[in-house]
Amino acid sequence: MSPSPSFLPSHEPPSRPRDSALLFLSRGMELLIIEREGAISLPTGSTLPEFASAAHYLGVLDGVDCYAAPLPRDFAPPEGTTLVPARSLYKRLDEVRFAIAGRALAIAEWDIQHRFCGRCGQPTQLVSGERARRCTVDNTPFYPRISPAMIVLVTKGDTMLLARNSTLPEPMFSTLAGFVDAGESLEECVAREVKEEVNIEVKNIRYFGSQPWPFGRSLMVGFTAEYAGGDIQVDGKEIAEAHWFHPDELPRVPPRLSIARHLIDAFIERVKGPTPRG
């Protein structure tokens, strides 16, 4: 088995040439790729030098520099390249490159959205030594936006609460989630969102882990919680239905990419024991 790729993030671009650097070029939530006979690769600085020169440095992937840049709206992909939804590259790119692509999407969007100051409307410029743009008139700084959101698996005995979001195009059940309000702690957000979405109370809220999620420009902060009372009553807006599920009778759940699936798998292992390997 070949070793996993190694990525060292950074924002300070090195002085070496960018000809062999990998370019993560995006337009919205789309990424520019090269696809030949089912294999996917990324353009390099030598193939699209006009973007390499002004791109944002991401870090080093197995000794190869990586850069991100936004594509103009009228960009026409050169022959041999194509723009695809970045989410569609899950399992087609290795997990490390997929994560770098997510980082690139967020940085490219930040660069586009903060070319001008939101306070006075004057142009901004990049700040040396940090990932920031600063107004040339009033010095207001602008950093890449990160929106904190909680995601929680609520359990009751050997069952877990999973819900189906009304906006998803395909039927799938997942954990509950929601964005943190101003002035609210993460734990308060957990209790509020669960109450609002399914009308139950929770206790013993515990931190589980976190995951950056560029497709919502958010940082997903995962928790577990235990049922404390109430009957399930969905809000009818975000949540279409919700039920308690035993690990032996699971509906369709999110892919392994997501922290929601990590929460579900961890609970299954706790209830049923680790899956034998061999």
Tokens for 209, please give them.
Answer: 């882990």
Q: What is the pLDDT of residue 277?
A: 46
Q: Are residues 120 and 105 in the same domain?
A: no
Averaged pLDDT score across all residues of the chain: 91
Q: Are 72 and 110 in contact (CB under 8 A)?
A: no
Tens of pLDDT, residues 194-241: 999 999 999 999 999 999 887 667 899 999 999 999 999 998 888 999
Q: H or E segment at 105?
A: helix 95-113
Q: Are residues 124 and 152 in the same domain?
A: no
Q: What is the pLDDT of residue 2?
A: 57
Q: What is the pLDDT of residue 38?
A: 79
Q: Are residues 105 and 118 in the same domain?
A: no
Is 278 among the domain residues?
no
Is 214 among the domain residues?
yes
**What radius of gyration do the chain's Cα atoms show?**
22
Q: Where is average pLDDT lowest: 86-90, 116-120, 232-236, 259-263?
A: 86-90
Is 65 among the domain residues?
yes
Q: Are residues 22 and 67 in the same domain?
A: yes
Q: Are residues 62 and 152 in the same domain?
A: no
Residue 161 DSSP class: E
Q: Are residues 118 and 132 in the same domain?
A: yes
CA distances from 26 to 14, 38, 85, 213, 260 (A): 22, 20, 9, 16, 26
Is 152 among the domain residues?
yes
Task: Tell me the pLDDT band of 54, cut-offs 50, 70 and 90.
Answer: confident
Instruction: Please give the residue range of the domain that contains residue 41.
Output: 7-112
Overall number of domains in the chain: 3
- ∠ at Cα 8 (6, 10), nearest 5°? 160
Q: Are residues 36 and 83 in the same domain?
A: yes
Torsion from C-alpha of 196, 200, 206, 207, nearest 10 degrees: -30
Q: Are residues 186 and 212 in the same domain?
A: yes
DSSP-derived 3-state class of residue 245: strand
pTM as predicted = 0.82
Q: Where is average pLDDT lowest: 32-36, 87-91, 181-185, 266-270?
A: 87-91
**pLDDT: which is higher, 125 or 256:** 125
Would the CA dihedral through 110, 126, 219, 214 be positive or negative? positive
Tens of pLDDT, residues 105-164: 999 999 999 999 999 999 999 998 899 999 999 999 999 988 899 999 999 999 999 999
Q: Are 46 and 65 in contact (CB under 8 A)?
A: no
Residue 29 DSSP class: T
Tokens for 144, please give them.
Answer: 């890449």
Is 277 among the domain residues?
no
Q: Are residues 132 and 180 in the same domain?
A: no
Residue 34, C-beta contacts closer than 8 angstroms, at least 6 positions apart:
40, 41, 42, 43, 80, 81
Is 261's pLDDT higher than 90? Answer: yes
Domain of 37, CATH number, reads 3.90.79
